[in-house]
Structures are given as structure tokens and as C-alpha cells.
Structure 1
């Protein structure tokens, strides 16, 4: 592998930036300063450093974000902050993107990666990947609603696949419900529309999990971290190179 590609893959910078770093003698290969972008390196065997820091080669990166409300699940937007604005320079240089979308006012788990094959597999309608949400609802959800979810709710433009509605808490005095909803598709505003079809309104929506990934309770809202080795390994169920 060319040294400049290795450095770009490690998030050091763009190819143009990398060439400047090489010219300024900021890179060593096996202890010797290297200035040639064309230098061939073995990403598994050679020791490459940038400004004294040993680099680990990685093509794909994976970040777990606890998305806050008010931020959109996009890579750029002229009017709103995007989830990329919450990440560091390394993640942005690796050109990560959100796997699927959460509405601007929905918060919770969001996976960001630069692995397009994984994103395609996780979002494929054929995979029926479980997505679990916790919703605060204005109105009292009933066992009849549970059955409607189980049968598949009919909306104006589509019939939803069978879903699971679990009633966690009911507050008769305030006429509110706390529920968990599991869906296996991801249509526009789907959870909110399903609840609305039952005559109630979602007032707060949080995604708790997507496939094998579960929201980290210790991850503050608006913060992100890399996936753990176990979390990354769990994605192997999608049958793509990680």
C-alpha cells in the first residue's frame, strides 16, 4: 500500500495535506523519516508514526452517537447542525455518515460509519432489522393498540409490517403513557404515525437499539464513542467485511 493512502486511511488528512506532512518530515516508517508518498508499506507489519504517534491502519470506522434533539441525521445542511458537527476531525476526515435517519426531534442511538456495504445491509428492507424506541405518549395506550401494532397498522399510504408495542407505564391522572415500540422497517415518521393512527400523540421519542447495537446508558446525550470490539464483532451478522 502507498504511504499516502495509508496515512489518509488513518485519518491524518487529505492526500494534499499528507504530502505536506511528508515534505515536513513528520512521518517515519520503521524508525526512519520518509518523505515519499509513493513509498510502499505493509499496513500489518510496518511501524508508521505521524508526529511521533504510532498509527494503526483501518479502512472502516464505527461510531456510536447518542443523538440529541435539534440535530439532523445528515452530513451537511444549510440551516441546522448535523450529526457530523458533533464528531471530531478524525471522524469527519474518514467521511463517516449516519446509518439511517432519526427525525430532528428524535434522540438516541445512531451509528455512523464509512462502511457503505454495512449501511446498505442494515437498512435493507429484506433484512428486517429490529429498531427499538421508547416513546412518551399523550393519551392512554391500550391492549387494543397492542393488537393493532401486532397485526400491522394501516396508514394512508402504506401498511406497516407487524410491530411490537409494550406498555411500560400508564399515568391516568396526566393521561400519558410510556411505551416501547419495536419496528422492522424505517419509513418516514413511522413510529409517530403509527401512534397517531391509534388516536394518540408521541411527545418524546428515543431510539434504544438498532440490530445488535444498544444505546450506552453511560454515553451522555450529544456525545459519541467508537464501537467496542464486541459491538463491532456483533455486526458480523450482516455478512459484510468490517
Structure 2
């Protein structure tokens, strides 16, 4: 048994002070009742924070950065001859790997995986504001008008979407293909490709090179992974 703010701090990777503030602001429910400051919980209750269920972590948290190759799907089981990124992750003695967001089969680059499902949801949630940075090669150069439109916002089926920043990153050696460096604040399905399609250009290559504070290291080859220090990441989560 433990005080509610102490339990929350451990489960959703925030400081105890921030967890206590959530309780004070009545953002925490325990079994559908507003939690009280100093309330004691066991952890088996239905605990929700800002409308999202928080599940207790049953295994030590691990997190890794994988350099995903193209041709691998972010599904747990291989389908229709497609290989699964889970084939590239190290085996676990307990628990399972949970992906932090997804990359489509034709996109390569940085993909995060963790044993903590709550952490995965926290990292991927738009409210966290973690930037996703990409290198994207498209079929033609973008005009200044198109770049301003991408920054202002583009109407997609599920609502407006925009890029935080976009800049030229050189060009391919053949034809008029051009490279751009693009930063987003959310990770909707195929968002980069759909934004570019709205601009009338096609994406021929897409690489994610950063997710929040985690960068795709140049020495990390495709299909390889490296461990991320959990305490280091927690420090970024509590800032």
C-alpha cells in the first residue's frame, strides 16, 4: 500500500510533486471517485489520470531504440510474407515489448520499444509534445507557398495537421527529387506521406531520425538496436 501520488509517479514516470499536483487538481480518479491528497492505494484499483487508465507495471522497465529497415511491419505477427519488427527485438524473460507509435512498412529509421505500456502511451501522446523528426525525399521541390501551407496547416480527413518546421536538406543525385528535414509534434498514421500528397508530391523515401530527446545514432546499423538509459529518459519526462 502506498500514497496515490507516489504510486502515480512510479507508474507514469513523473515527479512526485507533479503527481501530487494532478491529485490536487482533481485529475485523478480511483474507482471512478476523485482521488484525495494522501489517499492510500494498493495499485489494483481502477486508477485514471486525465481520462486515461493507468496500469501497474509488472516488470522492470526497459526501453530500446531500433533502427527499423524498410520491409518490416510494426505488427506482432508476420503477415502476407511481411517480416515483423518484433523479430529484430531482443527476447525477454518476462513481459513483452510495446512499440512507441509505429512506422509504416516503407518507412525506416528510429523506432522505440519498451516493456512499460504506460510509458509507451505517455511518450506517444500528443500532450507530451515530443517532436518527431524525419528526412523525407519527394518527387519535386516544394514552393515557398507550399512550405508556408504545411506550417500553417493542411486539412486531413481526421482534422487539421501541420509541420512544426521544414527545411531543404539537399537533393537526390537524379531527376528533381528533393530531400527535406521535417519536424512534427504528433504521429498520425502515414502523416508525412499524406501531407506531401496534399502538396501534390510523392514521397519516395522516409526516415525518422529523432523522437523527442532520442536520436537515431549514425553508428546504429539497420536492424540493430541499442538500450536507452531509463533514468536519463525519466529526467526528460519530468522537465
* TM-score, length basis structure 2: 0.69
Q: Any conservation in 2 of the 1:212–1:235 contact (CA below 8 Å)? A: no
Aligned counterpart, 1:82: 84
Aligned counterpart, 1:7: none
Alignment of 1:26-65 (within 5 A): 59-65=60-66
Aligned counterpart, 1:166: 167
Distance 1:237 1:88, change over 3 A: closer
Aligned counterpart, 1:121: 122
Segments of 5+ residues of structure 1 without an aligned counterpart are 1-57
Aligned counterpart, 2:200: 199
Aligned counterpart, 1:237: 236
Segments of 5+ residues of structure 2 without an aligned counterpart are 1-58
Distance 1:172 1:142, change over 3 A: farther
What is the Cα deviation at residue 156 of structure 1? 3.9
Q: Any conservation in 2 of the 1:118–1:238 contact (CA below 8 Å)? A: no
Aligned counterpart, 1:185: 186
* CA–CA distance in structure 1, aligned partners of residues 231 and 67 of structure 2: 17
Aligned pair count reads: 180
* CA–CA distance in structure 1, aligned partners of residues 234 and 160 of structure 2: 29
- Partner SS for 2:61: coil
What is the Cα deviation at residue 171 of structure 1? 5.8
Q: Any conservation in 2 of the 1:152–1:161 contact (CA below 8 Å)? A: yes
Q: Any conservation in 2 of the 1:153–1:162 contact (CA below 8 Å)? A: no
Alignment of 1:139-178 (within 5 A): 139-170=140-171, 174-178=175-179
* CA–CA distance in structure 2, aligned partners of residues 97 and 216 of structure 1: 21
- Counting strand residues as a fraction of each chain, which structure ranks higher? 2
Q: Any conservation in 1 of the 2:67–2:223 contact (CA below 8 Å)? A: yes
- Larger mean CA deviation between 181-190 and 118-127 belongs to 118-127
What is the Cα deviation at residue 123 of structure 1? 1.3
- Partner SS for 1:159: strand
Alignment RMSD: 2.2
* CA–CA distance in structure 2, aligned partners of residues 172 and 111 of structure 1: 31
Distance 1:236 1:196, change over 3 A: same
* CA–CA distance in structure 2, aligned partners of residues 117 and 157 of structure 1: 25
1:110 aligns with 2:111: yes
Distance 1:85 1:192, change over 3 A: same
* CA–CA distance in structure 2, aligned partners of residues 106 and 60 of structure 1: 27
Aligned counterpart, 1:210: 211
What is the Cα deviation at residue 134 of structure 1? 0.3
